[in-house]
């Protein structure tokens, strides 16, 4: 089953969800602002994306600028930051089996659905 980590207030996330819906495949929407991934889930997502935590962080968010900008943070600290401030997590993230992509641009999603 396809999973989409979604923020309904984000236009790119809404476009990504539309692509997943049009695929006709079963999917699950995870509203990650309300249902923040656990540390293990986030580590699993990073592994599937094959990226470091820093690449999944939205650095233009106020929470980043106010709390973390200019600081040297470890991988664990970056993951903890995303759990504490889920708005920092780039979106949408789509997972299909053992493949995952960040839907920016949304057409990236087509590669795995």
Q: Which residues have a catalytic role annotated?
A: 10
What single-letter DSSP state applies at residue 35?
Answer: S
Alpha helices, H only, the chain:
11-22, 39-49, 62-67, 75-84
Q: Which of 7, 34, 22 is nearest to 92 (CA)?
A: 7
Per the DSSP assignment, residues forming a β-bridge with 2 are 27, 96
């Amino acid at each position: 089953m396809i999973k989409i980590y979604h923020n309904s207030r984000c236009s790119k996330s809404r476009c990504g969800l539309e692509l997943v819906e049009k695929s006709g495949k079963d999917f699950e929407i995870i509203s990650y602002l309300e249902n923040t991934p656990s540390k293990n889930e986030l580590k699993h997502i990073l592994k599937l994306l094959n990226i470091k935590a820093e690449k999944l962080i939205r650095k233009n968010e106020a929470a980043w600028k106010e709390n973390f900008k200019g600081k040297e943070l470890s991988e664990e600290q970056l993951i903890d930051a995303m759990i504490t401030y889920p708005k920092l997590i780039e979106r949408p993230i789509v997972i299909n089996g053992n493949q995952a992509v960040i839907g920016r641009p949304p057409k990236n999603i087509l590669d795995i659905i």
